[in-house]
Every structure is written in C-alpha cells, then in structure tokens.
Amino acid sequence: MRVLVTGLHGTIGTHLKIYLEGLGHEVIGWNREEIPIDNYMAMESFVQEVAPDVLFHLAVPSHPTGKPNENWLVHYEWSSELAWITHKFGIKFLFTSTVQVFSDTAKGPFTPQSQPDNDYGYGFEKRMAEQRILYQNPQAYIARLGWQIGTTLEGNHMGTYLEAKHTQEGTIFASTRWLPAASFLEDTVKTLWEIVLHHPPALYLLDSNRGWNFYEIATALKKFFKKKWVIVPEESFVYDQRMIDSRIPMPPLSDHLKHLKPLS
C-alpha cells in the first residue's frame, strides 16, 4: 500500500515509517517547504498526485517557521483541510490526537465516552481539531495517544525527558499519585496500522498503562536504560490520566518493563 505521512521525521513518524516499510509498504512524507499547508489547491494537488491509500496526520509544529498562529494552523486548519481532501477522494485518514484534550482537573480514567474539557493550549487545539475533522470527514479515524516511550535515549519520549531532567536538575521528582497514559512507540505504531486495516472509522484511545504510577514507571525505566537517575517519590500531582478502550487492547507496559510490579 501507499501511505502518506505528515510529521514523518518526528518521533512517531520515524517509527511508523520503519514499521510500514518492514511490511513492504511505500511511505511518503509531506515536505512543508515544498507543499505549503496554507495553500489548499497545492495540498489537494499533492494528495491527488501521491494517491495514497492511507494518510496519517501526525505532524506538530516542532520546528516553527514563523507563520502567524502557527500552532493553530498546524493543529486545526491543516487538519481540517486534510480531512476534507481525504473525504473528497475516498482516502483513509487517521489523525493522532492526545490525552491532553482532557484538563488536569478532569476525572479519569477516560473512555471513548468521556467528554474532553481542555480549554487551553495544545490540548484545546487538538480538541477543536477532533471536532472539525469529524465535521469535514465523518469517516476519519482519530487516535488519542498518551506519553510515548522509546527503547533508546533518542527522540522525544518519556525516557529522554527523564534523562534530560536528571542531567539538568540532578533529581527527578515523580508522583506516586499520577497514573499517566503511556505506551511504547513500537506498540503505538503497530496499533495505528491495525486500526486503519481492521477497524471502522471512529475515535480510539491507545494506552498501555494498566495502573502503574509515574514513580513506578520512571523507576522501571531507570533499570531498563541502566541509568543512575535519582528518582524521589512525591505526591503533589494527583491524576488518573489512563485511557481505557476495550476495542483495541494495547500490550501492557510490563511487557517491556519487566521491573514493573505485577498488578492484580
């Protein structure tokens, strides 16, 4: 199959490309310098030319170009146009959203029926994009993701965050009362592909945390990466951020992190 991916060089995009090419599929990236995301006709022509079977919209404004309101442009306006274009040409469209569509005061764990409430920043923009996408393309797939975890200390994920935190501050304070939504990148990209192949268009929640707190996960990652991080348990952040979706069971974090305590 031919797959068009925005954000191909990002953390998730890089892993998705490796996974799909390993299956024999053709993966094409979207170069924003060549195909501007504020030019509808250029975008439509590009999608027609590529003629993908699937379009994964993963992009975030990680490398700002200076365009006005660039975050909104990338998260909302570009998403809206891609949803319309893929609907027009009958192309499968998957948009990666985030658990951050829920505010830090929302009551988790969350299910597909939980109502997003974030009215600020990144989470708000993604929440608005979800609504706009479904208006433009009722056949779109939306996948809400949690914090990603890689198997090396490269890229942008929980392990690299912990490494940077310890390097900069010498100590990592980790709440025992925060249950973060989190998954390993290899499980995420595999599940994203399974969704578009074997599931109907809908909103899906991807999360591998079965009930471990941030302190437990950080401590297990310390052992996984064989680091000497100083991790101190604390209780200042109280939040059950987990996402539960029985339609697409993700492998538990313990499949990768053998030092996580078993859960009853």
* Number of residues in the chain: 264
Residue 75 lies in a domain: yes
Euclidean distance between CA atoms 31 and 109, whole angstroms: 37
Q: What is the mean pLDDT of residues 76-92?
A: 98
Euclidean distance between CA atoms 10 and 154, whole angstroms: 11
Residue 246 lies in a domain: no
Residue 26 lies in a domain: yes
Do 95 and 69 fall within a single domain?
yes
Residue 205 vs residues 38, 73, 81, 121, 240: alpha-carbon distances, Å: 29, 24, 23, 21, 15
CATH code of the domain containing 231: 3.90.25
Residue 262 lies in a domain: no
CATH code of the domain containing 60: 3.40.50.720
Do 54 and 85 fall within a single domain?
yes
Q: How confident is the model at residue 262 (pLDDT cuts 50, 70, 90)?
A: confident
Alpha helices in 78-118 (DSSP H): 78-89
Do 226 and 111 fall within a single domain?
no
Is 70's pLDDT higher than 90?
Answer: no
Do 89 and 109 fall within a single domain?
yes
Quote the pLDDT of residue 263.
Answer: 80
Q: What is the mean pLDDT of residues 30-36?
A: 93
Q: Which domain holds residue 171?
A: 152-180+210-241
Do 73 and 132 fall within a single domain?
yes
The pLDDT mean for the chain works out to 96
Residue 250 lies in a domain: no
Q: What is the mean pLDDT of residues 121-145?
A: 97
Do 135 and 60 fall within a single domain?
yes
Euclidean distance between CA atoms 51 and 172, whole angstroms: 47
Do 105 and 176 fall within a single domain?
no
Do 31 and 69 fall within a single domain?
yes
Do 122 and 235 fall within a single domain?
no
Do 198 and 221 fall within a single domain?
no
Quote the pLDDT of residue 205.
Answer: 98
Quote the pLDDT of residue 264.
Answer: 62
Euclidean distance between CA atoms 60 and 50, whole angstroms: 21
Residue 263 lies in a domain: no
Residue 54 lies in a domain: yes
Q: Largest alpha-carbon pair distance within the chain?
A: 55
- Total domains in the fold of the chain: 2
Do 142 and 223 fall within a single domain?
no
Structural Rg of the chain based on CA atoms: 19
Residue 264 lies in a domain: no
Q: What is the mean pLDDT of residues 124-136?
A: 98
Q: Which residue has the tokens 């027609």?
A: 48
> 158-175: per-residue pLDDT in tens?
999 999 999 999 999 999
What is the percentage of the chain residues whose pLDDT exceeds 70?
100
Do 130 and 142 fall within a single domain?
yes
Q: How confident is the model at residue 113 (pLDDT cuts 50, 70, 90)?
A: very high
Q: What is the mean pLDDT of residues 33-44?
A: 95
Q: Measuring CA to CA, which residue among 57, 49, 121 is closest to residue 93?
A: 57
